[in-house]
Amino acid sequence: MKISAYATIFSGYNASGLALIARDDHGDLIQARTQYLPGMVSSIMAETLAIKEALSCIKSKGWSKVVVESDCLTVIQAIRSKTPMVSPLGRVVQSCRNMLVESNTVSLFFVKRSANMAAHELARLSCSFSDRVFDSISIPFEVQNVLERDLEF
């Protein structure tokens, strides 16, 4: 199983959006989620929150053997690092570290943005579809097209 996590900033709305897309080993959609966060946060904080949401989702569902993917190398490196961070971002990073330690069957990987396009597209739609959970029937058409293209490769 794989979860792609992505965040985007809506500077015109002073907000950010998160998206998670969970797929099975065949690439088929299990579940997708969006979250809309009013109030501007940095892109690094938004990406970290997206990973934290992915890890929280894994924990709440009881999933195991999951790969979490993000195209934000800075956040992946921060979470993998042992360096303490005394800041609001550091608290979210530490929360991610703790969840990874608790679930030793979850892996965190960096992927190029081109491998994360479905989550990217869903994050862009999070201002219209805020705080929603989707399945293969209800996923927005624009995201369904990207998911289908991913399966062709």
CATH code of 126's domain? 3.30.420.10
Do the beta carbons of residue 49 and residue 18 sit within 8 Å?
A: yes
Among candidates 22, 13, 61, 54, which has minimal Cα distance to 35? 54
Q: What is the pLDDT of residues 19-66, one digit of tens each?
A: 999 999 988 999 999 999 999 789 999 999 999 999 999 999 999 999
Residue ranges making up the domain that contains 98: 2-152
User: pTM for this structure?
Assistant: 0.93
Tokens of 26: 């065949």
The residue written with tokens 């396009």 in the block is: 117
